[in-house]
Amino acid sequence: MSEKKGRPEYARYEAQSTEELQEILRKHAHNEIQIEMDTEELFYIMEVLSERNNQTPEQIAKTTQDAYAAFREHYMPKENSTAGKTTAKVFSARWMKVAVAAVVALVILCVTTASAQAFGVDIWGRFASWTKEIFQFQDASQHDQGKDPEKENNLELKSLQDALDQYNITQKLIPTYLPSGYTFADINVFDSPREVSVSAKFNRENDELIISIRQTIGKVPEQIEKSDKLLEVYTIGGVDYYIFSNTETLQAAWVVGEFECQIIGKISVEEMKEMINSI
Amino acid sequence: MATKKNLYLARIIVCVLVISLLVPIGARAATPETATPYASAYLASYTAYICPMGDGELQIWYRVTGTGTWADLGVLSIFLYESTDSVNWYWVKTFRHTEYDNMLASNEWQHMSHVDYEGIPGYYYKAYVCIWAGPEDGGDSRYIWTDVERCT
């Protein structure tokens, strides 16, 4: 669905910087641009920005449904297959080759995994995935039934634990340690048909620290901004905590059951680990 | 004959082992840890998704978390697309924060809300969402597609 094709009149946007294009979008959204821009023009700009981010709309739009459809097309057995019909050569030479190939593939997989672990790449342990710009946990559950919709609300709760208690969330998800100087400032509780999000903010002079817990129902892919480098996968209590930087802030993300948790703040790796240790 | 066959098998095993050792080395070299930095000083995380609510009602939800408190935080625009076959898509509506107060929050560190649309049961929908966070004199945007949802 490329909006750039056949629109040479918008080619001038290619020459503009990313900051200039983002400013155009911002001004347009704020009604600061007097000349009305049509949707195609806006999409042209968005596409230029997407390509610069190396993340085309088509790539983003590649949905699970598409992948599942392709899987069904290529790999699922056809319903009208010749199941039940017996053939004389049940285990033919052709199937033998397939079996040998499968065994070889299995051996490669096992040895690769073992050697990958030796090189420090934890293949099976990483259900989380990241690109160069975002981090997200893969959806492990495919059930998609929503619960009754509820309006989002903001509760004036004293602590994050109070909010979790209200949702009968008994798992230990919250750090009991806060880096020196941080004090409770605000809390948000949001409900949607697909997720419950409970987050708290703590302040230390001009710095802010956010702890966010969300319980998802079905597929709610969240994208987490990150710099290029995953600093560490810190494992404690059988849980992998992914620690990475996002410009000036440090972030940690982890999954416990159906809960996805984050800590975001201008703190050191040591302080982050100490918070994690206190969960 | 048996020796020749054993030699052949030995060669295969050696090849498998060599490939198995080389693959993770290549994989490690290709990990994003060596990729170009790309992050945001304003945005920490975000998501957007469509919820079919029945009777044709669609809710387009978005949640944006900033790296801190920002003058503007939320979504600027939502472009909604419709399809009868999930292949050919047609733009049907644009939601702008200037028309929907709950799209962009002021002086917040996190924002979550939704806009509604009356869809056609059985049709498919997806949205292109412009995420925004920043102070009054700047900011950062991201553009994400929601997953495709079938209206019920």
Whether residues A264 and B65 touch (CB distance < 8 A) is answered with yes
**What is residue A70's predicted lDDT score, i.e. its pLDDT?**
42
A130 and chain B in contact, CB less than 8 A: yes
* pLDDT for A176 beyond 50: yes
Determine whether A86 is exposed, middle or buried from the number of CB atoms within 10 Å of its CB (0-12, 13-18, 19+).
exposed
Out of A108-112, A269-273, B9-13, least confident range: A108-112
Does the pTM exceed 0.80?
Answer: no
**What is residue B19's predicted lDDT score, i.e. its pLDDT?**
59
Whether residues B59 and A149 touch (CB distance < 8 A) is answered with yes
Out of A136-140, B20-24, B31-35, least confident range: B31-35
A86 and chain B in contact, CB less than 8 A: no
* Cross-strand bridge partners of residue B125: B82, B149
- Average confidence score pLDDT of chain B: 85
Q: What is the ipTM of this complex?
A: 0.72
Q: What's the CA gap between B46 and A186, in Å, rounded?
A: 19
* pLDDT for B121 beyond 90: yes
Q: Which helix (H) or strand (E) holds B17?
A: helix B2-29
> B residues 34-73 near A, CB within 8 Å?
34-41, 43-47, 49, 51, 53, 59, 61, 63, 65, 67-69
**Structure-model confidence comparison of residues A35 and A146, the more confident one:** A35
Q: Mutation test of the interface with chain B: which of A132, A136, A182, A195, choosing the one with the most B Cβ atoms within 10 A?
A: A132
**Structure-model confidence comparison of residues A68 and A56, the more confident one:** A56
- Average confidence score pLDDT of chain A: 70
**Chain A neighbors of B22, CB-CB under 8 A:** none
**Residue closest to A37 by CA, chosen among A60, A7, A15:** A7
> Once rounded to an integer, what is the mean pLDDT over residues A243-266?
91
**What is residue B42's predicted lDDT score, i.e. its pLDDT?**
95
* pLDDT for A255 beyond 70: yes
**Structure-model confidence comparison of residues A215 and A102, the more confident one:** A215
> A residues 155-184 near B, CB within 8 Å?
none
**What is residue A72's predicted lDDT score, i.e. its pLDDT?**
45
Highest mean pLDDT among A83-87, A228-232, B25-29, B38-42: B38-42
> A residues 183-202 near B, CB within 8 Å?
186, 188, 190, 192-195, 197, 199, 201
Q: What's the CA gap between A44 and A38, in Å, rounded?
A: 10
As a whole-number percent, the residues of chain A with pLDDT over 70 amount to: 55
**What is residue B118's predicted lDDT score, i.e. its pLDDT?**
97
Q: Which residue does chain A place closest to B140, by CA atoms?
A: A22
Whether residues A245 and B110 touch (CB distance < 8 A) is answered with no
A60 and chain B in contact, CB less than 8 A: yes
Size of interface A-B (CB pairs under 8 A): 202
* pLDDT for A167 beyond 50: yes
Alpha helices in chain A (DSSP H): 18-29, 39-52, 57-60, 64-74, 93-118, 160-166, 269-277
B109 and chain A in contact, CB less than 8 A: yes
Residues B25-55 have pLDDT tens digits of 444 444 333 333 368 999 999 999 999 999 9
> Once rounded to an integer, what is the mean pLDDT over residues A101-130?
57
* pLDDT for B78 beyond 90: yes
